[in-house]
């Protein structure tokens, strides 16, 4: 009789150990699924931020192209107030790399920096613009570059 009681206890401990192992594996699987979903969301945010940054660069270009008085309304090397742009927020900064004064000469090239935030993703791009005929701004296609998004 004593031998049967000991066997029942062993089976209970064995079943409890297997159950604990299965619960641990289930929790690990659900955590991996959650991490995978978060990673996928971040990748989507990064792709959106990259596309919106280039779009915002185009948008800023269209706002100032052909308009000569814009240089007096912006500050050199200062990020503008962030504005809502599509699914995120965007800001811009103008830099005159020749003499450091964006407002003093309409015929000097300048670099336009844009920074877009979508969720946790931040992307920044810049491009150099060269004034052309009829106050049109010409993009230097070789000057588009991704900046660090600090």
- The pLDDT tens digits of the residues spanning 59-92 come to 999 888 878 788 888 888 899 999 998 888 999 9
Calpha distance 91→69 (Å, rounded)? 20
Confidence of residue 149 (pLDDT cuts 50, 70, 90): low
Report the pLDDT averaged over residues 104-115.
90
Query: Structure pTM?
Result: 0.74
Cα 8 to Cα 1: distance, rounded to the nearest angstrom: 11
> Per-residue pLDDT averaged across 21-37, rounded?
94
Task: State the average pLDDT over residues 16-26.
Answer: 94
């Amino acid at each position: 009789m004593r031998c049967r009681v000991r066997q029942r206890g062993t089976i209970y401990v064995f079943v409890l150990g297997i159950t604990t192992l299965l619960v641990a594996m289930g929790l690990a699987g659900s955590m991996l699924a959650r991490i995978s979903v978060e990673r996928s969301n971040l990748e989507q945010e990064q792709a959106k931020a990259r596309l919106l940054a280039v779009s915002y660069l185009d948008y800023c270009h269209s706002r100032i192209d052909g308009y000569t008085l814009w240089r007096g309304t912006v500050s050199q090397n200062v990020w503008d107030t962030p504005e809502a742009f599509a699914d995120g927020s965007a800001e811009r900064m103008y830099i005159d790399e020749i003499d450091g004064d964006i407002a003093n000469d309409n015929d000097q090239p300048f670099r336009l920096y844009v920074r877009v935030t979508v969720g946790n993703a931040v992307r920044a791009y810049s491009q150099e613009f060269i004034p052309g005929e009829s106050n049109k701004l010409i993009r230097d296609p070789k000057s588009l570059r991704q900046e660090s998004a600090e």
